Amino acid sequence: MSSTPDFPAQLRDAELRVTRPRVAVLEALHARPHAPTDSIFDAVRAVLPGVSRQAVYDVLHALTSVGIVRRIQPSGSVALYELRVGDNHHHVVCRSCRTVSDVDCAVGEAPCLTPPDYDGFEFVEVEVVFWGMCPDCVASQSSRSHP
């Protein structure tokens, strides 16, 4: 059993043509969760030297619009992309190094947090970003303050 998802099958299931740039973007995201566009572009260019930046943007847009890829943008950050979709998970962002990690649903099942009746809205998703310091930054800060 392969640890790499069957990206061509995912593309066909979403009624998208299987192209080398689309597969390369998915492979880049598989290797780099929460990747910014520049990182994805660099990874794709490493395997497809002729691909343009616009082609990568177009692929990301197409994959996001059909739900294969999720786009997140924590406050003060560039857009980040990930393959984990459909479970309405949340994120934690380190205020120091800006590392982003996944956090499972905070309460119950998706949409995880539902406000009281809000004028007939039907909520299907909640976006929560937890902010703090990752263990490496906490350790680094602690070592600098204790000579």
As a whole number, the mean pLDDT across the chain is 87
- Long-range CB pairs of 139-145, under 8 A, 24+ apart, other chains included: 140/96, 141/96
> Do both 30 and 56 map to the same domain?
yes
Domain CATH code at residue 105: 3.30.1490.190
Question: pLDDT of 101-119, one tens digit each?
Answer: 888 876 655 555 666 666 7
In a domain, residue 80? The reply is no
Domain CATH code at residue 29: 1.10.10.10
- Give Cβ neighbours of residue 125 (< 8 Å, ≥ 6 apart): 88, 110, 111
Residue at a domain's end among 72, 94, 113: 72
Instruction: Give the total number of structural domains in the chain.
Output: 2
pTM of the model: 0.80
Question: pLDDT of 128-145, one tens digit each?
Answer: 888 889 899 998 887 776
> Do both 131 and 97 map to the same domain?
yes
In a domain, residue 25? The reply is yes
> Do both 66 and 92 map to the same domain?
no
Domain of residue 133, residue span: 86-145
